[in-house]
Chains A and B, each alone.
Chain A
Amino acid sequence: MSWNEKKSRIATGFVAGSALAGGWYTSSAALLSGGAAQTVPIVGAIALAGLVPLIAMNFRSTPARSTIDDSLKQQLSVLKKHTMVNVVDIDNRLVEVNDLLLEATGYTRDELIGQPVKMLYASDNHITTAEIRDFLRQGKGWQGQTTLRHRDGSSCVTQTTVTPLRDADGNWIGSISARTDITATTKLIARRDTAMTLHELRDDIWIVSEQDLELRYMNLAAKARFGWAKRPDDGLTVRDMSRDNGCEDVLEACLRIVDTGETFTTFSAQIGSKKFDGSIKWLNKGTADGRLLIMLHDITERLEQDQLQADFISMVSHELRSPLTSIKGSMGLLLSKAAGELPPKAEGLLEIAHRNADRLVLIINDILDIEKISSGRLDFEMETADLSELIAESLRANAMAHQRFGLQIKCRGVDTSTFIETDANRIIQVLTNLMSNAAKFSKPGGVVEISVTKNEEVVSVSVRDEGMGIATEDQHKIFQRFADMANSDRASKGGTGLGLSICKAIVEGLGGTINFVSDEGRGTTFTFTLPVKTRHSEPDKDFERLENVG
């Protein structure tokens, strides 16, 4: 190579190196913060500006190290300490790697030279070598994060700048990549982001030592709660706050978790006039650095809203039922001849009115239930109940309807007691509803069969009728509210159109499932399952992710 050729390559290299250095500085400064933001980008930029011409000189040529001046030597030395560098040819095969890159990947130079560059990359890289080449082909550089794979399977995240290399005639002949290991920085940023999130969270976060319950950290919301603009004094403990700030419930929960040795607990707390759902996660349990992460979620407003809504529902319920009591009562007395004999036509009309007043009562009850379901206030009173007894009670409630339609009732699997942990009244409501539907849609004299099967964990109850079945096109909406709105039979059959959606909410709320199979013209079987024992909810998974914070 003549000196002119060398000069030309060095000139090309400096242009590329400077571009690379500028890009590196901008991207790394943006990525890093604090002290690292001031040093890493500058060092990297200097290194890149110096390295690229060197590599360009050596690229596919005789080494020209004797012509490198002292300044470039120094820059190369700096570069070697801070940046992983590799050069690839036009086919994306490695032609040069520096020692730092060999160290980061665990390979020898001989193992890498001549291999495709993607050999360096971990499989989870979000950018492919082909995508980077698209930039290079257009004469553009590429900057971003790449993950390198060590031969032992580990990986490291790098901030990478790739710049195309051209020969003296401007032909694209390969590229040069400079990378800095930012694995530690990435983790730090992730932790800082999590810490920032905690700090600005609307919930109150406290972190206290497990030994003496001394307060180590409080986020903004928690400090604001006590009117503290800055961190409370050193040495303040939850015991002090229990005594001086009304945090008895928090202290009690802390003492309980330390006493029982659980790693997670939830509790209810009141501080002043505010009410909270609280939880405690024990971090670094069993080490000298054991801490309790306490999270308090203010539910005061929600409880007030719930109360207002409950009051409203209660009031509506009362206001509607009171006049209905008089209407139904008066008609009931007339029909029972309390006011003497009635002409047959008048009696018939009165029966219609009475039956529809009954229906109104059902609708009011159903609407109240639907409202509770919608607002998430469908509460269950769990107890141990004998499913066979609940079925017997539901059959008694439906006896009149069964008699009216001349139905045969068959029961299977109800001879022995089946004890389950559930809300007995709500299950009677579901059973009554399914039995009532089966009766309403059965042919006169038809069979309704109730069967119970069980295993150790689940009981399954089926109510089968031999009625008209559900049309295939209507089956998908059967659990929707007013699903049978279009059914002209609904009014005559006395349904509210809400029953099945309530059944579904109840069964699912009790941890079970409900479904049906229907054969149009031949009948329908509704089946619901219930857990034998109530499943207890598990600790919030989100809390797991906070484990490393603090």
Chain B
Amino acid sequence: MIKLLHVEDDADIREIAKMSLELSGDFVVEQCDCGEQALEKTLDYIPDVFLLDMMMPGMTGRQTLEKLRENPNFANVPAIFMTARAQPNELEELRGIGATEVISKPFDPMSLADQIKAAIA
């Protein structure tokens, strides 16, 4: 089972993502609604992959990842961004800041698990 930490401020999207990932049977999903909560959560939780929303009030997904990366435990944990902003041309830039994969919103709930597994394989 893959331990995934999902950071997303929109409660509806959190619920859909959790349901679609758990439906695949391959993921155990923990969720936080902001970057600050994610930093606290990771004090005693080490996931196999981060799934981060880009635009959140307070710390953005990018800032959250930068903070997480300061912890040696998370230096090599794959990070996948989810964004409602990105156009195809902007995805490369996000990969450039340490994203393993960038998934555009709206995402397809039936292929989300496969997309993440492919990215971290």
Contact = CB atoms under 8 A, between A and B. Distances in A.
Contacts of A330: 12, 16
B56 to A, nearest CB: 11
Interface residues of A, number: 27
B66 interface: no
A36 interface: no
Contact of B85 (A318, A325, A326): A318
B109 A333 contact: yes
B105 A322 contact: yes
A321 B89 contact: no
A110 to B, nearest CB: 79
Contacts of A322: 10, 13, 84, 105
A321 B108 contact: no
Interface string B25-53: 00000000000000000000000000000
A340 to B, nearest CB: 12
A328 interface: yes
A318 B89 contact: no
Secondary structure at chain A's binding surface: helix, strand, loop or mixed? helix
A379 interface: yes
Interface in B1-35: 10, 12-13, 16-17, 19-20, 23
B110 A425 contact: no
Given A328-B106, A332-B109, A338-B20, A381 B89 contact: yes
A429 B89 CA distance: 11
A78 interface: no
B62 to A, nearest CB: 14
A338 B23 contact: yes
Interface in A335-384: 336, 338, 357, 361, 365, 368, 379, 381
Residue of B87, B89, B106 most packed against chain A (CB within 10 A): B106
Interface string B48-91: 00000001000000000000000000000000000011011100
Contacts, number: 71
B96 to A, nearest CB: 13
A368 B84 CA distance: 12
B114 to A, nearest CB: 13
Contacts of A357: 106
Given A324-B106, A336-B109, A338-B23, A329 B84 contact: no
A334 to B, nearest CB: 10
B87 A329 contact: no
A408 interface: no
A317 interface: yes
B106 A425 contact: no
Contact of A318 (B13, B19, B23, B55): B55
Contacts of B55: 318
A77 interface: no
Contacts of A326: 10, 12-13, 16
Nearest to B22: A338
A364 to B, nearest CB: 10
Contacts of A125: none
A245 interface: no
A314 interface: yes
Interface in B83-113: 84-85, 87-89, 92, 105-110
Contacts of B110: 332-333, 336
A321 B106 contact: yes
A319 to B, nearest CB: 8
Contact of A425 (B17, B85, B89, B108): B89
B13 A325 contact: yes
Interface in A69-89: none
Interface string A466-499: 0000000000000000000000000000000000
A314 B60 CA distance: 15
A336 B114 CA distance: 15
Contacts of A426: 89
Given A322-B13, A325-B105, A361-B106, A317 B20 contact: no
27 contacts: A314-B85, A317-B84, A318-B55, A318-B84, A321-B84, A322-B10, A322-B105, A324-B105, A325-B105, A325-B107, A326-B12, A326-B13, A326-B16, A327-B106, A329-B20, A329-B109, A330-B12, A332-B20, A332-B109, A333-B20, A333-B23, A338-B19, A338-B20, A357-B106, A368-B87, A423-B89, A425-B88
Q: Which 3 A-B pairs have the closest CB atoms?
A: A321-B84, A329-B16, A326-B12
